[in-house]
């Protein structure tokens, strides 16, 4: 908050959370869908679990997106998009930060400690993709509601690993997840340009998710993520590329290929890193883009002196 105040940003807790991606997305839907979604409450939350979910509460259906997902997106963009002038090791460090956010080992104090210095022109491009990705994530959860995936018989009581709290959640099939992806992109009444911007953002997000799923398989092969509800990120990626047609098909193919090639390049490096440095995925704290006193990190800073 103090950091936000220094930057002249709004610093009330409520202003941390934007409803823009939900509202912008809803505005693009046909009227009947908008009316159907009047039954769904939505909002961002501050939680270490970097995801979007739809769940049932005594007050009705609720869609939430975690604020930490933005950090996962920002750092995975730095890793996956090949910006000129970003050294390989900085891209890999950015990937590790993104993955540690997903594994809930990275501390979420990015406002006070941004993990290094990203040149402003690159930072703007990293952030530019995020609104369309958040709209898609909201749209995917809305789609489960619109497509009738959420009958009361599908409600299950799930024991959450972390809190041991019992939360009601919906059990969905892999096909329903793929349908929700397609619906989230095709249902909006927008032109091909806007649809392609969303699709491109989603393909990059799914590439990052694939690297997370790869890391899970390396670290915890005995607990396959497939036990969870979603099909693999690669399946979701291929399904979208196969089924969505826009006039920008060449641009979409090129984004898809370049994201996949970045994933394939990172996978063996990540496997080797995790084999040698597993403790970095077992300890809570902060990881950085580079060592202190370098251009990607800035001068060495002292906890409780420089961070406050």
Shortest distance (Å) from residue 176 CB to Zn ion: 7
Indicate if the alpha-carbon torsion angle 293, 298, 301, 305 is positive or negative. positive
C-beta atoms surrounding 23 within 10 Å: 12
The pair of three-digit structure tokens given for residue 255, joined into one six-digit string: 């984004």
Shortest distance (Å) from residue 10 CB to Zn ion: 31
Which of residues 169 and 280 has its CB atom nearest to Zn ion in the complex?
169
CB 203 within 8 A of CB 246: no
The CB-nearest residue to Zn ion is: 177
Which of residues 49 and 113 has its CB atom nearest to Zn ion in the complex?
49
Q: Which of residues 155-194 bind Zn ion (CB under 5 A)?
A: 177
Which of residues 135 and 177 has its CB atom nearest to Zn ion in the complex?
177
CB 34 within 8 A of CB 42: no
Q: What DSSP state is assigned to residue 38?
A: G
Please report, for residues 204, 237, 297, the alpha-carbon distance to residue 271 in angstroms, rounded to integers and kept in the order given. Answer: 20, 22, 25
C-beta atoms surrounding 173 within 10 Å: 12
Which of residues 44 and 177 has its CB atom nearest to Zn ion in the complex?
177
Q: Using CA atoms, how far apart are residues 164 and 41, in angstroms rounded to an integer? A: 25
Shortest distance (Å) from residue 6 CB to Zn ion: 39
Which of residues 57 and 271 has its CB atom nearest to Zn ion in the complex?
57
Residue 167, classed as helix, strand or coil, is strand
Which of residues 26 and 145 has its CB atom nearest to Zn ion in the complex?
145
- How many residues line the site for Zn ion (CB under 5 A)? 1
Shortest distance (Å) from residue 298 CB to Zn ion: 40
Q: What proportions of the chain, in percent to the nearest 5, are helix, strand and coil? A: 55, 10, 35
Shortest distance (Å) from residue 62 CB to Zn ion: 14
Shortest distance (Å) from residue 229 CB to Zn ion: 7
Burial of 255 (0-12, 13-18, 19+ CB in 10 A): buried
Residues that bind Zn ion (CB under 5 A): 177
């Amino acid at each position: 908050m103090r950091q936000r105040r220094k930057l002249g940003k709004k610093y009330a807790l409520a202003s941390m959370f934007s409803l823009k991606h939900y509202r912008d997305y809803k505005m693009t839907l046909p009227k009947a869908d908008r009316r159907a979604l009047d039954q769904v409450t939505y909002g961002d939350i501050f939680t270490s679990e970097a995801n979007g979910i739809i769940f049932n509460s005594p007050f009705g259906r609720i869609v939430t997106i975690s604020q930490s997902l933005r950090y996962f997106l920002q750092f995975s963009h730095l890793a996956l998009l090949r910006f000129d002038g970003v050294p390989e090791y900085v891209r890999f460090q950015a990937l590790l930060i993104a993955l540690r956010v997903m594994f809930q080992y990275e501390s979420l104090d990015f406002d006070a400690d941004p993990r290094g210095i990203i040149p402003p022109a690159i930072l703007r491009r990293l952030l530019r993709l995020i609104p369309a990705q958040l709209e898609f994530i909201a749209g995917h959860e809305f789609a489960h509601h619109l497509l009738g995936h959420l009958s009361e018989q599908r409600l299950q009581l799930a024991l959450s690993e972390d809190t041991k709290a019992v939360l009601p959640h919906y059990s969905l099939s892999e096909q329903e997840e793929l349908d929700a992806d397609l619906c989230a992109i095709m249902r909006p009444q927008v032109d091909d340009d806007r649809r392609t911007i969303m699709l491109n953002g989603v393909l990059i997000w799914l590439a990052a998710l694939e690297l997370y799923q790869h890391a899970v398989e390396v670290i915890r092969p005995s607990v396959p993520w497939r036990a969870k509800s979603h099909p693999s990120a690669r399946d979701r990626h291929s399904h979208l590329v196969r089924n969505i047609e826009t006039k920008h098909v060449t641009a979409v193919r090129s984004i898809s290929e370049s994201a996949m090639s970045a994933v394939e390049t990172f996978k063996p490096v990540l496997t080797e890193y995790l084999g040698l440095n597993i403790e970095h995925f077992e300890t809570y704290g902060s990881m950085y883009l580079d060592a202190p006193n370098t251009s990607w990190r800035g001068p060495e800073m002292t906890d409780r002196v420089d961070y406050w």
